[in-house]
Amino acid sequence: VDRVRLVDVAHAAGVHAGTASRALNPATRHEVSRQTVRRVERAAERLGYVPNAMARGLRTSRSYIVALVVPDITNPLFPPIARGAEQVLGQRGYTLVLTNTNNERETESAQIEAMRARGVDGFIVATARLVDPMLDDLGTSKVPAVLVNRYTDSGSLPYVGGDDRRGITLCVEHLAELGHERIVHLAAPADASTGRDRASAFRQAMRDRKLPLAASGIRVCSAITVAAGRDAMRRVLAKDRGFTAVVAANDLIALGALDAMAEVGLECPADISITGLNDAAFMDRLTPGLTTVHIPLHDMGVAAATAVLDLIERTNSEPIGQRLLPVELIVRESTRAAAVLSRPTRALRAAAP
């Protein structure tokens, strides 16, 4: 590479590399004569040598870089989180860098390791699995790190998320009030808290409403993508046409479900109502507009960045723990009253306050 290296500076100044290194390093400068320091500095300036990380690190002990690690940059969930985080970090003089793991553990490890080696000051991690030794390791190594959107069961790192369980409960209650009884849940993968909690909240909400859980009641998608949602809905529709509503664990999964319905000539909401979760960008502009749960993604980014800065700068001694931000049901056109109300449903609706 053509980048100016320390050896180039040393050569230009007519000194050994070790001498040039000591001359440019504030911690070791006193070991070299003033004249040499000046000669090396002039050579560095003339060649456009960029002071390297170590020299900077010794001056400030900080890189002023925080990394946000996301599983899938094409999921519209993450840009608002990144924007929120960046707003806080920028105000405090930090740069946010974002890396995308493609949901691959090896990629994630390599990225975090590379960034630790480059002296990144802290991490905001959106890729947590329930069992995640790599993140537990980050927790014990005392590198400032905060989880966002997903947490680990070990609880070794602070966490900021939306109240997913409440979100799914709101969806089930909304559908139940519209007279839906047979409701299918298209779940996110169960190895992450997002998948497990949303499915468990769905089960609980159905039980609370005394609605029976069909055999095809919960179908776990292989990923949180439109394609995985489509595939899961195809499988459900191949076996079961008796349900009238779908609670998707995520907006993208809901979009995939809409696609699978269209393939077999089913319409939303005429035939089947669908709810999403996240209220990602553009979900209000779809046909039909998606009824979904608004998760305060920007605020999650703000809260996660604030938490990681507290860890980096020790500005707050209180433990951060888990923090769940409130969510809100946004009713649009993808949900409507169940076409035919069965007798028990009518009784239920009459009994409702």
| Residues lying near a copy of itself in the complex (CB under 8 A) | 1-6, 17-18, 21-22, 25, 27-28, 31, 48, 50-58, 61-65, 67, 73-74, 76, 79-80, 82-83, 86, 90, 95-100, 102, 107, 110-111, 114-119, 121, 141-144, 255, 281-282, 285-287, 312-314
278: DSSP letter: B
- The CB-of-135 to a copy of itself minimum distance in angstroms stands at 15
What is the phi/psi pair of residue 93, to 5°? 85, 15
Cβ proximity to a copy of itself, 240 vs 299, nearer residue: 299
- The CB-of-311 to a copy of itself minimum distance in angstroms stands at 8
b/e map 309-326, b = 16+ CB within 10 Å? bbbbeeeeeeebeeeeee
Cβ proximity to a copy of itself, 297 vs 327, nearer residue: 297
- The CB-of-29 to a copy of itself minimum distance in angstroms stands at 9
Burial of 266 (0-12, 13-18, 19+ CB in 10 A): middle
Cβ proximity to a copy of itself, 3 vs 343, nearer residue: 3
For 110, residues 6+ apart whose C-beta sits below 8 A from its C-beta are none
Cα atoms in the Cβ-side hemisphere of radius 13 Å centred on 312: 26
Cα Rg of the chain, angstroms: 26
Cβ proximity to a copy of itself, 1 vs 351, nearer residue: 1
Cβ proximity to a copy of itself, 51 vs 242, nearer residue: 51
Cα atoms in the Cβ-side hemisphere of radius 13 Å centred on 189: 14
- The CB-of-68 to a copy of itself minimum distance in angstroms stands at 9
Instruction: Quote the CA–CA distance of 44 and 41 in Å, as a whole number.
Output: 5
Cβ proximity to a copy of itself, 50 vs 347, nearer residue: 50
- The CB-of-51 to a copy of itself minimum distance in angstroms stands at 6
Cβ proximity to a copy of itself, 110 vs 352, nearer residue: 110
Cβ proximity to a copy of itself, 240 vs 333, nearer residue: 333
Could you tell me which of 299, 340, 257, 256 has the C-alpha nearest to residue 163?
299
Which neighbouring-strand residues pair with 294? 278, 328
How far is C-alpha 219 from the geometric centre of its chain's CA atoms?
22
Work out the number of other CB atoms within 10 angstroms of the CB of residue 169: 23
The CA distances from residue 80 to 77, 163, 194, in Å, are 7, 17, 18
- The CB-of-265 to a copy of itself minimum distance in angstroms stands at 18
